[in-house]
Amino acid sequence: MKKNFKKKSWAALAVAVAMLSAAGCNAKSNTEANSPSGEPSQTAGASTQSPPQDVTISLGRVVGSDNKFKNGETIEDNVHTRWAKEKFGIDFKVDWSVGTGEAYTTKLRLLLNSNGKLPDVFTLNDPTLENQVVDSGKVMDITEAFDQYASPRLKELYAQYPEIWNTVSYDGKHYGLPTFNANSSFSVLWIRQDWLDKLGLQAPKTIEDMDKVMDAFVNQDPDGNGKKDTIGLSLSLKKGVSAVKDTFMVSSDFLFGHTAVPTYWTEGADGKLQYGSIQPSVKQGLVKLSDWMKKGYLDKDAGAMDESKAAESFVQGKSGMVFGPTWMATWPFNADMKFDYKAVPIPAGIDGQMGFGSEPQSSVRFYFNKDFKHMDALFKYLDAIMGPGFYDPSSEFANGWAEGYDYVMIDGKPVYDSDKIPGGFVDVKKYTIYGNDIQTPKKELEVMAKLGRGETPETPYEKYFAARPKKWAEAAAVLEPYLNQAAVYDQFTGPPTPTMAEKGELLRKMENETFFENHLRAGFPGCVRQLREQVEFVGRRTDHQRSERMVRFG
């Protein structure tokens, strides 16, 4: 089935290009006006149509170890499903459940391959499988259903971020409903303030400053134990030199600046998509990484460490800096870290600009069985859990998902202390058909930054976040002023092309191996040439597949 993509507005230009368009493919796109900025109005009401009664909706579910129950409840019969039944007449039935996300994807793939019945509603975050699901003809085109049944506030939200539809667009039709990320994995530089003070240094603002600070952190005994056993910067390079897309933690993204981030597709000076990994600035960044490794500024095992292991050096007080999101203040950081550390703005990268890879706007999409008949009822439910979240003071979820489960009212105020909730805290959002909060972009950051500036929390939503670590809020306040300047989004957001589906994983593996071998062991000679030859070879084999997906930017 032919894919149809549109040009992204402010941040990401979605295009149907092959994996190899960096080798010279042209692209073409319809130009859209910039979407409005800011959050959707919370005064826009939901649909006023009467909810249908006795509607059964089947689901496939992940019910993992993080799903806790009390009061004899189950994934089918609990405080949330009873609320949905009472309010919307919806009876959620779980056709099957599995314990992990991997098992869930496997189950759906088996149903698809065996021509089994898909649930009425299910979620996916595997672009290749999503492509196969749509091509199978087993899921619904929801274009008309969204226009007819989505509430005004949901329509307003999606109108602000129209490029999010590119993840589910085929032939101009929408075969799924994208959910939004909070975009909370924006990055700061966490640094040992006590080491800076002891050595008479300032937080680095450029790569040159990074060299100076790391050299002092490694060679001037900042911990005062008389041994050369400290690390300048904690990094995880096990999964590659760019953002670790499942956590965005402990990566080297800042080093490459804003011009090009490895593995990301961004718009080049000629208006065409370019693949970041083969851009000149990435070469320069890898040379710098190699230099840092040779000088002992990085952990010698950085290439074998995952992000959690790499972060331990900072948590344990052995490293002076670590790059990562504001939420690191909750994990892996902890109350046992008695030294003085803080968040500061990321330094300018190798190109002289601030930059870091950001998570996509949508990681998970809803899909609907083509025979599903109750989109009207479902959109009323989705409006309730997606529209206001619980940051709207007028929402019934203003204090939390369910009183007596994730909060308790004491003296007329919501309290989130688990010890004060009868039977303990239960994460009710795990009971929703999404299994988590469906966030509004940047809303969480906005609230945390307000708290980090020392402003008094006013709404229940703000009070809920006020219980989180102070350093998280302080980091959000540091980040907010430069966020729009520094965030780099992967601008290829459509379903994978045939080349990506067939060769993408192999090419990425070859890329990581080539980068690692060259920048950590032998410098950089020939790396870009080798990678370009690899992608051009695959590109020549798939020109006929790519021809219908070429897009030229207007």
In tens, the pLDDT along 219-254 reads 999 999 999 999 999 988 877 676 545 555 667 778
pLDDT of residue 433: 94
Give 443-499 pLDDT, tens digit per residue: 888 889 999 999 999 887 788 788 788 999 999 999 999 988 898 888 887 667 778
CA distance 373 to 368: 10
pLDDT of residue 23: 31
Cα distances (angstroms) measured from residue 92 to each of 77, 96, 107, 270, 385: 9, 12, 19, 51, 15
Residues in the chain with pLDDT values less than 50 = 1-48, 51-52, 244, 390, 520, 522-554
For residue 275, what is the enclosing H or E element? strand 273-275
SS3 at position 90: strand
HEC profile of 456-508 = CCCCHHHHHHHCCCHHHHHHHHHHHHHHHHHEECCCCCCCCCHHHHHHHHHHH
151 phi and psi, to 5 degrees? -70, 160
431: β partners: none
344: β partners: 189
Tokens of 188: 């700061």
CA distance 174 to 6: 12
Measured between its terminal Cα atoms, the distance across the chain in Å is 25
- 187-357+496-552 has the same fold as 21-182+363-386: yes
Closest CA to 345 of 477, 253, 214: 477
CA distance 544 to 499: 11
517 DSSP 8-state letter: I
Contact between residue 438 and residue 386 where contact means Cβ atoms under 8 Å apart: yes
45 DSSP 8-state letter: P
pLDDT of residue 443: 82
Taking the domains of the chain in order of start, what are their residue ranges?
A: 21-182+363-386, 187-357+496-552
The type of residue at 79 is: V
CA distance 486 to 490: 13
pLDDT of residue 7: 32
pLDDT of residue 548: 27
CA distance 482 to 484: 6
313 phi and psi, to 5 degrees? -65, -35
Cα distances (angstroms) measured from residue 358 to each of 231, 254, 546: 26, 11, 27
Closest CA to 295 of 218, 207, 208, 242: 218
How many CA atoms are closer than 13 Å to the CA of 95, on its beta-carbon side? 16
Span 187-357+496-552 CATH architecture? 3-Layer(aba) Sandwich (3.40)
pLDDT of residue 386: 80
Judged by phi (left if over 0) then psi (alpha if -120 to 50, else beta), residue 79 lies in: alpha
Residue at token pair 């006795």: 54
CA distance 179 to 124: 10
pLDDT of residue 295: 94
Closest CA to 173 of 143, 194, 132: 143
For residue 343, what is the enclosing H or E element? strand 341-344
343 phi and psi, to 5 degrees? -95, 140
CATH homologous superfamily for the domain 21-182+363-386: Periplasmic binding protein-like II (3.40.190.10)
